[in-house]
Chain A
Amino acid sequence: MKRSQIIAYMPWQLWDFALDRGIAVLFTAGLLAMSIVWPGHIALSAMIPPEAVTLELLKVAVAQTVSIMVVIAASGMVANDRVGGFYRFLFSKPVRQPVYYGMQFFVTLAGVLGIGLILLSVFWILVGWASPAVPLAMIVVTYLALGGTIFFFSTFTRLDWAMLVLLWGASALSRTIFADSAWYQAAKWVLPPMHHLDKLRGALFAGTPVDVGGVVWLVGYGMLFFVAGLVVLERKAIAE
């Protein structure tokens, strides 16, 4: 397999993402954001200055939509090809599965960023200008953390999104209920560090220093799953 050969396929992967997932992500996140932003805009405009309204609404919209965008975009990345049988023709060609899906992972990130920009454009028109830096940074970090995890699950089950919800749900729940227990103090090192996502978003919007260690842990957690997914693709027969 030549590098140029797989890179030449990248635009096709992006096109597939746009039509298979992109439209769903755009509409779901768009409607969700609209349901938050529009009533919020009317309510807040009477209470606080317009610049503050824009920032507050953007904060809420990012908090409510980015994770959902990532889950819809990244779920089924490998599982759909396996269940649909599309792998048969794809991998009778001189193509390595980890390279193909590794590339698709990052193409999907580019696609989600593109959708993020479309949604921001609508926000700028309807609400007002706000820097895209924080929302886009949140998309990248959330995608690497959540998307990496879901990618791993996708290599062996079509219920990848459910596994992710279960894992992240267990993390949030145990942090809330058992935060002080010795059990949680040990378990927190293997459970997804979801709380760092909220911390990061808060710090970026407030312009306060970011907990770099927390971000590294968050992204590293997802990337560890991503690499594990690539290993599974290399070692496990795809039709098993």
Chain B
Amino acid sequence: MIEFSHVGKTYRSITGKSVRAVDDFSLEIPRGEVFGIAGPNGAGKSTLIGVLLGFLHPSDGSVRVNGMRPRAYIERNGIGYLSELVTINKRWRTDAALTRYAILAGVPRERVSESVEKVIATLGLGEHRRKRVKALSKGNLQRLGLAQALLRDEELLILDEPTHGLDPVWTQRFRDIVNDLRDPGRTMIIASHNLDELQRLTDRVAIIDHGRLQRVVGTGSLDQTPSGALTYRISVASGADHFAKAFPGAVSTGRGEFEVVVADLAGLNRKLGALMSEGAVVAAVVPTRSVLEQQFREAVGESS
């Protein structure tokens, strides 16, 4: 569906200064995949999305969407896009803005009202429908941005920081919406700082830093990091004195809590089995970092 081939992007200022925002980026995203993009601030995520939308031309390499140039694909089919910054004319009213976008999206005239009502209901914008954009809170504006991306059943959805500004209830609702949108014919790209969210929603995550693809991580089989290190916090209700035998090198963090480093999930379970067979009662096992977060830190360095 999407193919980045050795894409590079250099920004040049009038004074001749240049910044390499994306460098030799190659990646294929098949149809039907929910794909995540993660990276620290300034890693090149937004530039990459700008290139994918044809809002920026790559300095090197090429991008193809269904074998077409991005603009050609979008001008023919349209896409659902939520930008990191939701920029809508502040004077427009919520329902009018959605009506405009529905018309431009090519929703048939007789179905415009139905489509608008549907997304208003899905995103809970009913009570804000007559409000002007300038009167919307950050969260409601984000929901309006998401609503306009969902006006038509697009084959390609690109969501840049989709839960930015959403409260926990709407963050969960967003996750439900993404899961409902999963379809073999629909490709979704989600760029986010929220690694937990990417791990829950996506099939694979590209970790980028300094404009380069560092690694692509499959979220379905995240049981081992390349360094072979998973860190967990284990609480025991009783039998803490057996801990050191089952987990040599465990660090006590007090009140029956230990931090342990294991190579993989199988090893963790084996050691927990040994601990419990000694009579210890395990109260909780919590990863100190999600596995994706650990992968992310390894890829971009602890300083990021």
Which A residues are within 8 Å of any B CB, using their own CB? 1-2, 4-6, 8-9, 12, 16, 19-20, 84-96, 237-240
**New A-B pairs, 19, CB < 8 Å, besides A84-B87, A92-B53, A96-B75:** A1-B75, A1-B106, A2-B106, A4-B109, A6-B104, A9-B103, A88-B53, A89-B81, A91-B53, A92-B78, A92-B81, A93-B104, A94-B74, A94-B75, A94-B78, A95-B75, A95-B104, A237-B57, A240-B57
Q: Give A23 Cβ to nearest chain B Cβ, in Å.
A: 12
Closest to A99 in B: B75
Q: Give B80 Cβ to nearest chain A Cβ, in Å.
A: 7
A94→B77 contact, CB < 8 A:
yes
Say yes or no: is B200 at the interface (Cβ < 8 Å to chain A): no
Of A16, A19, A20, A93, chain B has the most CB atoms within 10 Å of the CB of A93
Cα of A94 to Cα of B106 in the assembled complex, Å: 7
Count of residues in B whose CB is under 8 Å from the partner chain: 31
Cα of A93 to Cα of B85 in the assembled complex, Å: 17
5 CB < 8 A contacts A-B:
A85-B87, A87-B55, A92-B74, A237-B56, A239-B56
Q: What A residues does B101 contact at CB under 8 A?
A: 89, 93
A86→B105 contact, CB < 8 A:
no
Say yes or no: is B50 at the interface (Cβ < 8 Å to chain A): yes
Cα of A54 to Cα of B58 in the assembled complex, Å: 60
Closest to A96 in B: B75
Cα of A6 to Cα of B54 in the assembled complex, Å: 20
B83→A85 contact, CB < 8 A:
yes
A86→B75 contact, CB < 8 A:
no
Contact with A along B223-249 (1 / 0, CB 8 A): 000000000000000000000000000
Say yes or no: is B130 at the interface (Cβ < 8 Å to chain A): no
Say yes or no: is B89 at the interface (Cβ < 8 Å to chain A): yes
Q: A85 contacts which of B78, B79, B85 (Cβ < 8 Å)?
A: B85
A89→B103 contact, CB < 8 A:
no
Q: Give A77 Cβ to nearest chain B Cβ, in Å.
A: 14
B56→A94 contact, CB < 8 A:
no
Given the interface contacts A85-B87, A86-B89, does A94 sit within 8 Å of B50 by beta carbon? no
Cα of A219 to Cα of B78 in the assembled complex, Å: 36
Q: Give A63 Cβ to nearest chain B Cβ, in Å.
A: 33
Q: B106 contacts which of A5, A16, A19, A89 (Cβ < 8 Å)?
A: A5
Closest to A237 in B: B57
Say yes or no: is B284 at the interface (Cβ < 8 Å to chain A): no
Q: B105 contacts which of A93, A239, A240 (Cβ < 8 Å)?
A: A93
B104→A5 contact, CB < 8 A:
yes
B78→A12 contact, CB < 8 A:
no
Cα of A237 to Cα of B56 in the assembled complex, Å: 5
Closest to B160 in A: A88
Cα of A85 to Cα of B53 in the assembled complex, Å: 14
Q: Give A126 Cβ to nearest chain B Cβ, in Å.
A: 32
Cα of A92 to Cα of B149 in the assembled complex, Å: 9
Say yes or no: is B17 at the interface (Cβ < 8 Å to chain A): no
Q: What A residues does B158 contact at CB under 8 A?
A: 92
Q: Give B113 Cβ to nearest chain A Cβ, in Å.
A: 13
Q: What B residues does A19 contact at CB under 8 A?
A: 91
Given the interface contacts A9-B100, A239-B56, does A92 sit within 8 Å of B85 by beta carbon? no
Q: What B residues does A91 contact at CB under 8 A?
A: 53, 55, 74
Contact with A along B142-179 (1 / 0, CB 8 A): 00010011000000001000000000000000000000
Cα of A91 to Cα of B56 in the assembled complex, Å: 13
Chain B residues 81-121 with CB under 8 Å of chain A are: 81, 83, 85, 87-89, 91, 100-101, 103-106, 109
Cα of A53 to Cα of B242 in the assembled complex, Å: 108
